[in-house]
């Protein structure tokens, strides 16, 4: 499973320099601006473009996003296939597992593809 990132939304590589990110953002926002694009999804796409640019144009936010991507990739690479795992996971534990994650679902950007609905 490939995760969607802000880089995907702006159609740039993960090592893109700031000027490439800025140029991609400007180009895509002109294409998807609701005043210029009659697609009903244009406003939603603009929100994702704005969020992507906000994150990728800020070095600290970009670094955090890159860490999130690496973590998601690591999880995907180390995921155990439940069909191949015959070990039961119904053990009871006396302590609770609390998994806090600093990234919310908003870091899973919407796929932007030529004005068509995607999700």
DSSP string across 11-52: T--TT--HHHHHHHHHHHHHHH-TTT---TTHHHHHHHHHHH
- Residue-level pLDDT at 2: 76
Buried b (16+ CB within 10 A) or exposed e, 75-98: eeeeeeeeeeeeeeeeeeeeeeee
The domain ranges of the chain are: 1-79
- Residue-level pLDDT at 82: 58
58: helix, coil or strand? Answer: coil
- Residue-level pLDDT at 79: 83
- Residue-level pLDDT at 119: 35
- Residue-level pLDDT at 112: 58
**CATH class given for the domain over 1-79:** mainly alpha
- Residue-level pLDDT at 6: 97
Low-confidence ranges of the chain (pLDDT < 50): 86-107, 115-119
pTM of the model: 0.66
CA dist., res. 55 & res. 61, Å (int): 5
């Amino acid at each position: 499973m490939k995760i969607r990132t802000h880089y995907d939304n702006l159609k740039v590589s993960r090592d893109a320099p700031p000027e490439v990110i800025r140029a991609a953002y400007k180009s895509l926002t002109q294409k998807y601006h609701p005043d210029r694009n009659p697609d009903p999804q244009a406003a939603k796409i603009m929100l994702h473009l704005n969020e992507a640019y906000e994150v990728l144009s800020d070095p600290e936010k970009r670094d955090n996003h890159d860490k999130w991507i690496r973590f998601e990739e690591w999880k995907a690479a180390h995921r155990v296939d439940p069909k191949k795992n015959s070990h039961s996971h119904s053990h009871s534990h006396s302590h609770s597992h609390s998994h806090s994650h600093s990234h919310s679902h908003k870091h899973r950007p919407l796929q932007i593809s030529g004005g068509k609905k995607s999700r």
